Structure 1
Amino acid sequence: MNEETWAPHVTVAAIVEREGRFLLVEEHTSAGLRLNQPAGHLEPGETLHDAVVRETLEETAYAFAPEALVGVYMTHFGKPGESGATYLRFTYCGQAAAQPEDRALDPDIVRTVWMSAEELRAASERHRTPLVMQCVDDYLAGRRVPLDFVRTHATGPKAAPRRT
């Protein structure tokens, strides 16, 4: 791998808890249907805050208001002998609107689902990554960092609007 061109993928994820249940998405992946928090990649010109709000809306149709950062996670996926990919995941917790908006979900999302921590733990073979449960466990342990911990000095140019 050429170290000069290597860069981690920056992603965001949202934890929304309501009455002891967590908002998740069931999505198509190369490994089949998997469960994940609403999550996705940081796009050009976005702050992390903007990205988690956008991704949550696109994947669940719920407007999301971040309240705290739960954690920053680094993971690497790859087969032996291959460079693979490294991901930095910024996971936020917050509140979602009472009802979803009337809008289509991202094409890979099959549906949204509300699950308790116990139900989610019992479905571990269906998690998109081990971070799904780790983030919930950290949230349940009370890990919270104020939103102003992440400071944005400048962002790059905005990406062209995506067609959905």
Structure 2
Amino acid sequence: MHKPNVTVAAIVTCQDKFLLVKERDKHTGDICYNQPAGHLEANETLAEAAHRELIEETGISLNASHLVGIYNLHAANGVHYMRFSFAFNSPELFEPSPQDDDILSANWFSLEQIKSLPLRSPLVLKCIEDYLAGKAYPLSLIYQ
């Protein structure tokens, strides 16, 4: 039976910048950039998972304002992901302090800078573009 991996991502914005984490791709070993993201764990809601990942990967605690989208990706590594992306608006450009050893650093980037970075997947840019296009769904859309 096929079961996709459920993942969450935090699209964090402030002053026309987006917060991304620098990490090493576990399959290729290459350095890449991603939103703070990870897998849904037992007994947590999707929004709680995004909040937890944000704290673990950046040291910043914010609450999701809305759902940006749900994304289906059959990745090059052969894994099928269902990604739920949430928007988080930061009142200031906090200095990130990653708690997760897999995160090399976390930094704020403009959209133009992001377009030139090696991204973890095409969903990194797609989620940002959807956010900028105004895609916003209430958190109540997801039955908890």
TM above 0.5, yes or no, is yes
Match of 1:68 among 66, 69, 79: 66
* Aligned partners of 1:14 and 1:52 also within 8 Å: yes
Name the TM-score, length of structure 2 as normaliser. Answer: 0.91
Unaligned segments of structure 1, at least 5 residues: 153-164
Alignment RMSD (CA, Å): 1.6
Residue 94 of structure 1 aligns to which amino acid in structure 2? F
Tell me the matched-pair count: 141
Q: 1:110 aligns with which of 100, 104, 111?
A: 104
Matched AA of 1:109: I
2:132 pairs with one of 123, 140, 159: 140
Which amino acid in 2 is paired with 1:121? K
Q: 2: CA distance between counterparts of 1:59 and 1:97?
A: 18
Percent identical = 40
Secondary structure of 2:65's counterpart equals: strand
2:85 alignment partner in structure 1: 91
Matched, 1:149 2:141: yes
Match of 2:25 among 26, 29, 34: 29
* Larger radius of gyration between Structure 1 and Structure 2: 1
Partner of 2:56: 58
Q: CA, structure 1 residues 66+7, in 2 after alignment: closer, same or farther (shift >3 Å)?
A: same
Letter in 2 for 1:105: Q
Are the counterparts in 2 of residues 64 and 97 from structure 1 also a CA contact under 8 Å? no
Unaligned ranges ≥5, structure 2? none
